[in-house]
């Protein structure tokens, strides 16, 4: 045990103190936040130069509306087009917006913008939203529709789940969406952690083999101890990195946004259409949001959080030990181990794709069984957890996972122990099979 | 008392027998040579002694005890395929390897310091191993092998890659440790080194021991009745016939093969009878290299 600790310590500290770790851990979040902030900055400020646009209004759309929008200044002109072009040449105006007559029998309306410079995306958006409501009202009037009956036309259809027996459990349709999004995030995160740090284990093992230090090491410690030490050490590096990222990202986001004088919710103004804004104003939506928060809080976090951690550890251990075996079986050129890596990657990729579908259909047969099958469970089960699967499935999945991780570590250590001393050539899959059953 | 007893040890791999029922004893405090061509089973045997692998059959007894989990700590092993972490600092690396051998942080620290002082390389402590030359890395590797004061040191081709100065430096250290009672197993196929260093050897081929014993004894057992004579004039041709044969003729001396049924006295007498003035006369013992080639050749037939 003492020796495993030593190995874990070395694996951990040499990595954590390395330049690469410091760079990726501290610079990556800073870069991400800066890029994000810069993006918001650009999008919200957008085209900062003020533009004057002349409007030739053949449809009467400019009556009774406020014609200023961010950096756009509109002037309604009655002079001829040619004279406006002269104004354009004199740089008095930046463009001419031609509103053709409205035809209520068409559901298309082409506004023409005359200019040698195109409009920015947000500028076109602003212009469209400026006239949309006006055209709508015009058509409502033209068709002689009553506003209140129009409001009733678009029906908001919603399937409201209601439990029959379990009256305690109150679920709403919104929960499904929330839990599938939550599950998806957790699943993607797990997949990435396993992939990134699993392949680090593989490279670390192979490096020791190429260095030829491995024979020196295993004359002091058992190959099993060496493998476990490496797997755990690198796992801890992963946890450290994620913890630092989480802290840095939150601190930096707050810092960056206040630095740029930005409100992250300003993003919403740009990305969301007026429809969402209208919805936001709606009292019903507010209660819905409150409901989502309530649903989220109502999830059994005391069970879910420990399970997330459990599946993280189990998933990482299963795949990292497999990657360790591949690193040991690979020859002096890790790139030659492609076929072996594929074998490990295959179930992981499968888990990822099944996981995505499980986020949408958490109770499908595929989702249920792959959340119990140990190679896919570490990714799929956490995704399903948010939608409260039956306890027996969780229990079964936990038990099979524990049994499997023990088996997997055993299997990997069998391959590792022999592979690590086979220099020069990469082992075939058939050979790996022999190694598993050969004696020490 | 033996430091190591190998008793009927067998190691099989899927397609061949690497070590085939081998038994021998290594006396305590000796420098013991383990020789053999590539693939003879030396490394397989060493890996069993160092508990890297287990014997399929037979037993290995270290200092009176069957191999157990505490033994790797009492052995210092310098494998032929060796290396260090390139990116780790010399000092940290030696500390780590010493601690893996069971030393406490404090013990490890003082022993590593001692060795660095002994080799006059204390300023290498914070250098990365990758920055050192190959010979320098070898020195570090040697320190890593012996830092925990093992009872038994196993050196597999310890001098490969070392210049003559460093070879002597390491050789002196091996001898010094041996004088303090440390037993040494020295595995190589460089015969001149074996002759210089080892007192006793085993010669392995194809998993079996084909020769075992004291170096001098082996040499005399394998002598071929050859004598080197320095004298004036030419060898009397009438003596040659069926009794003697000139094996080698250098400008200064002759090497004469004495054939069956005759002995060295016959040769001397013949020369004296003919009034030939002999300047020097000595028996030519075979080198280990010759014995090695001959024995391996015989056992391969």
Sequence-ordered list of residues with C-beta below 8 angstroms from that of B18, at least 6 positions apart, any chain: B11, B12, B41, B44, B207
Report residue B208 as tokens.
């079996």
The minimal CB distance from A215 to the residues B82, B88, B101 is found for: B82
Q: Do A216 and B85 touch (CB under 8 A)?
A: no
A197 and A291 co-located in one domain: yes
The CA distances from residue A256 to A44, A269, A435, B78, in Å, are: 15, 19, 55, 56
Residues of B in contact with A218 (CB under 8 A): 52
Q: How far does B188 lie from chain A, in Å, by closest CA? A: 17
Domain boundary among A95, A124, A144: A144
For tokens 């670390």, the residue is A204
pLDDT for the residue A271: 44
Instruction: Pick the range with the lowest mean pLDDT from A419-423, B158-162, B223-227.
Output: A419-423
Residues of A in contact with B78 (CB under 8 A): 216
Which of A11, A207, A213 has the most B C-beta neighbours within 10 Å, making it the best mutation to test the interface with B? A213
A82 and A193 co-located in one domain: no
Q: Taking all residues of chain B, what is their mean pLDDT, rounded to a whole number?
A: 87
A120 and A185 co-located in one domain: no
pLDDT tens, residue by residue, A11-21: 999 999 988 88
Residue pair A418/B14 in contact (Cβ under 8 Å)? The answer is no
Is A66 contained in some domain? yes
Q: Do A423 and B81 touch (CB under 8 A)?
A: yes
Q: Do B87 and A14 touch (CB under 8 A)?
A: yes
Residues of B in contact with A211 (CB under 8 A): 83-86
Nearest-by-CA chain A residue for B47? A219
pLDDT for the residue A270: 44
Distance separating alpha carbons of residues B79 and B101, to the nearest angstrom:
16
Q: How far does A365 lie from chain B, in Å, by closest CA? A: 44
Distance separating alpha carbons of residues A132 and B202, to the nearest angstrom:
98
pLDDT for the residue B146: 93
Averaged over B91-110, what is the pLDDT? 93
Number of domains, chain A: 2
The minimal CB distance from A220 to the residues B72, B82, B87 is found for: B72
The minimal CB distance from A6 to the residues B79, B85, B96 is found for: B96
A313 and A361 co-located in one domain: yes
For residue B240, the tally of other CB atoms under 10 A from its CB is 13
Domain boundary among A144, A160, A183: A144
Is A161 contained in some domain? no
A136 and A219 co-located in one domain: no
Residue B92 reports pLDDT greater than 80: yes
pLDDT tens, residue by residue, B21-51: 999 999 999 999 998 888 888 988 999 998 8
Domain boundary among A97, A124, A144: A144
A65 and A210 co-located in one domain: no
Is A30 contained in some domain? no
pLDDT for the residue B23: 92
Q: Following DSSP, what letter does each residue of B1-19 receive, concatenated?
A: -EEEEEEEEEEEETTEEEE
- CATH for A107: 3.40.190.10
Report residue A103 as tokens.
């035809």
The minimal CB distance from B52 to the residues A218, A438, A439 is found for: A218
Residue pair B113/B146 in contact (Cβ under 8 Å)? The answer is no
Distance separating alpha carbons of residues B130 and B86, to the nearest angstrom:
4
Which residues make beta-bridge pairs with B266?
A: none
pLDDT for the residue B128: 92
Is A151 contained in some domain? no
Q: How far does A427 lie from chain B, in Å, by closest CA? A: 14
Q: How far does A217 lie from chain B, in Å, by closest CA? A: 8
pLDDT for the residue A272: 45
pLDDT tens, residue by residue, B287-301: 888 888 888 888 777
Is A29 contained in some domain? no
Residue B231 reports pLDDT greater than 60: yes
The minimal CB distance from B14 to the residues A211, A217, A438 is found for: A438
Range of the domain at A71: 51-144
- What structural domains and CATH numbers belong to chain B? 2-220 (3.40.50.300), 224-284 (3.30.70)
Is A289 contained in some domain? yes
Is A265 contained in some domain? yes
A129 and A194 co-located in one domain: no
Q: How far does A343 lie from chain B, in Å, by closest CA? A: 25
Nearest-by-CA chain B residue for A17? B88
Report residue A152 as tokens.
């009733």
Sequence-ordered list of residues with C-beta below 8 angstroms from that of A337, at least 6 positions apart, any chain: A202, A206, A326, A327, A329, A330, A331, A426
End-to-end, the C-alpha distance of chain A in Å comes to: 21
Q: How far does A367 lie from chain B, in Å, by closest CA? A: 43
Q: Do B96 and A10 touch (CB under 8 A)?
A: yes
Which of B98, B100, B185 has the most A C-beta neighbours within 10 Å, making it the best mutation to test the interface with A? B100
SS in 3 state form for chain A?
A: CHHHHHHHHHHHHHHHCCHHHHHHHHHHHHHHHHHHHHHHHHHHHCCCCCEEEEEEECCCCCCCCCCEECCEEEEEECCCHHHHHHHHHCCCCCEEEEECCCCCCCCCCCCEEECCCCCCHHHHHHHHHHHHHHHHHHHHHHHCCCHHHHHCCCCCCCCCCCCCCCCCCCCCHHHHHHHHHHHHHHHHHHHHHHHHHHHHHHHHHHHHHHHCCHHHHHCCCCHHHHHHHHHHHHHHHHHHHHHHHHHHHHHHHHHHHHHCCCCCCHHHHHHCCHHHHHHHHCHHHHHHHHHHHHHHHHCCHHHHHHHHHHHHHHHHHHHHHHHHHHHHHCCCCHHHHHHHHHHHHHHHHHHHHHHHHHHHCCCCHHHHHHCCCCCCHHHHHHHHHCCCCCHHHHHHHHHHHHHHHHHHHHHHHHHHHHHCCCCCCCCCHHHHHHHHHCCC
Q: Is B101 on the interface with A (CB under 8 A)?
A: yes
A236 and A319 co-located in one domain: yes
Q: Is B25 on the interface with A (CB under 8 A)?
A: no
Q: How far does B187 lie from chain A, in Å, by closest CA? A: 16
A266 and A194 co-located in one domain: yes
A323 and A200 co-located in one domain: yes
Is A222 contained in some domain? yes
The minimal CB distance from A216 to the residues B47, B56, B82 is found for: B82
A283 and A349 co-located in one domain: yes
A186 and A130 co-located in one domain: no
How many beta-carbon contacts under 8 Å exist across A and B? 63
- One digit per residue, the tens of pLDDT, for chain A of length 440 reads 688 999 999 999 999 998 888 888 888 888 887 887 788 777 666 555 677 888 888 877 777 776 666 677 888 888 888 888 888 888 888 888 888 888 878 888 888 888 888 777 777 877 887 788 788 888 888 888 887 887 787 787 877 767 676 555 555 556 667 777 777 887 888 888 888 898 899 988 888 888 888 888 988 888 889 999 999 999 999 889 888 888 887 887 777 666 655 554 544 444 444 444 544 555 566 676 777 777 777 777 788 888 888 888 888 999 998 898 888 888 777 677 778 888 888 998 998 889 888 887 888 888 889 989 989 998 888 888 877 788 899 999 999 999 998 898 888 888 888 888 876 666 677 777 777 777 65
The minimal CB distance from A215 to the residues B81, B86, B87 is found for: B81
Residue pair B211/B291 in contact (Cβ under 8 Å)? The answer is yes
């Amino acid at each position: 045990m003492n020796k495993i600790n030593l190995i874990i310590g070395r694996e951990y500290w040499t990595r954590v103190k390395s330049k690469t770790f410091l760079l990726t851990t501290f610079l990556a979040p800073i870069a991400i936040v800066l890029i994000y902030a810069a993006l918001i900055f650009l999008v919200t400020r957008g085209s900062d130069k003020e533009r004057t646009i002349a409007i030739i209004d053949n449809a009467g759309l400019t009556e009774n509306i406020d014609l200023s929008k961010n950096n756009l200044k509109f002037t309604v002109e009655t002079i001829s087009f040619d004279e406006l072009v002269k104004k354009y040449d004199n740089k008095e105006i930046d463009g001419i917006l031609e509103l053709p007559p409205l035809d209520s029998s068409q559901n298309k309306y082409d506004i023409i913008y005359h200019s040698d410079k195109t409009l920015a995306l947000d500028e076109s958006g602003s212009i469209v939203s400026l006239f949309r409501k006006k055209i709508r009202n015009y058509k409502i009037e033209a068709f002689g529709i009553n506003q209140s009956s129009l409001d009733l036309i678009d029906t908001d259809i919603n399937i409201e789940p209601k439990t029959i027996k379990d009256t305690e459990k109150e679920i709403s349709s919104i929960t499904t969406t929330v839990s599938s999004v939550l599950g998806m995030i957790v699943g993607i995160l797990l997949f990435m952690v396993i992939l990134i740090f699993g392949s680090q284990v593989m490279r670390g093992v192979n490096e020791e083999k190429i260095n030829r230090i491995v024979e020196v090491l295993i004359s002091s410690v058992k190959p099993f101890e060496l493998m476990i030490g490496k797997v755990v050490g690198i796992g801890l590096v992963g946890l450290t990195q994620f913890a630092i990222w989480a802290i840095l990202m939150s601190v930096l986001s707050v810092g960056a946004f206040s630095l740029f004088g930005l409100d992250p919710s300003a993003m919403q103004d740009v990305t969301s259409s007026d429809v969402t804004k209208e919805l936001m104003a709606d009292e019903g939506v507010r209660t819905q949001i409150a409901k989502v928060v309530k649903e989220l809080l109502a999830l059994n976090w005391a069970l879910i959080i420990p399970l997330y951690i459990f599946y993280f550890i189990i998933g990482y251990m299963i795949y990292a030990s497999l990657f360790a075996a591949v690193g040991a079986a690979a020859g002096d050129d890790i790139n030659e181990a492609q076929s072996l890596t594929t074998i490990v990657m295959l179930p992981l990729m499968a888990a990822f794709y099944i996981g995505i579908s499980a986020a949408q259909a958490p109770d499908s047969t595929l989702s249920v069984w792959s959340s119990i099958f140990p190679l896919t469970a570490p990714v799929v089960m956490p995704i399903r957890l948010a939608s409260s699967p039956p306890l027996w499935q969780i229990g079964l999945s936990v038990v099979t996972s524990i049994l499997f991780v023990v088996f997997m570590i055993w299997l990997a250590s069998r391959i590792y122990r022999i592979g690590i001393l086979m220099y020069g050539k990469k082992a075939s899959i058939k050979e790996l099979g022999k190694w598993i059953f050969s004696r020490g | 008392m033996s430091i190591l007893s190998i008793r009927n040890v067998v190691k099989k791999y899927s397609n061949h027998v690497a070590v085939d029922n081998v038994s021998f004893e290594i006396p305590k405090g000796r420098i013991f040579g383990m020789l053999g061509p590539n693939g003879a089973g030396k490394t397989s045997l060493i890996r069993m002694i160092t508990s890297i692998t287990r014997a399929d059959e037979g037993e290995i007894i270290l200092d009176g005890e069957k191999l157990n989990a505490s033994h790797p700590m009492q052995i210092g092993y310098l494998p032929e395929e060796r290396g260090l972490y390139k990116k780790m600092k010399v000092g940290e690396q030696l500390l780590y390897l010493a601690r893996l051998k069971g030393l406490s942080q404090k013990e490890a620290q003082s022993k590593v310091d001692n060795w660095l002082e002994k080799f006059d390389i204390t300023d290498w402590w914070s250098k990365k191993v990758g920055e050192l030359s190959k010979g320098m890395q070898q020195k570090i590797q040697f320190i890593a092998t012996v830092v925990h004061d093992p009872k038994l040191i196993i050196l597999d081709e310890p001098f490969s890659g070392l210049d003559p100065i460093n070879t002597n430096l390491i050789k002196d250290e091996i001898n010094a440790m041996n004088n303090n009672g440390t037993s040494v197993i020295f595995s190589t196929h460089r015969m001149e080194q074996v002759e210089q260093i080892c007192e006793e050897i085993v010669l392995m081929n194809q998993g079996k021991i084909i020769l075992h014993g004291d170096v001098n004894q082996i040499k005399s057992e394998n002598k071929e009745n050859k004598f080197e004579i320095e004298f004036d004039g030419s060898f009397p041709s009438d003596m040659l016939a069926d009794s003697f044969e000139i094996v080698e003729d250098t400008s200064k001396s002759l090497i004469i093969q004495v054939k069956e049924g005759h002995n060295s006295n016959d040769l001397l007498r013949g020369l004296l009878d003919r009034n030939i003035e002999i300047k020097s006369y000595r028996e030519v013992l075979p080198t280990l290299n010759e014995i090695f080639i001959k024995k391996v050749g015989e056992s391969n037939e």
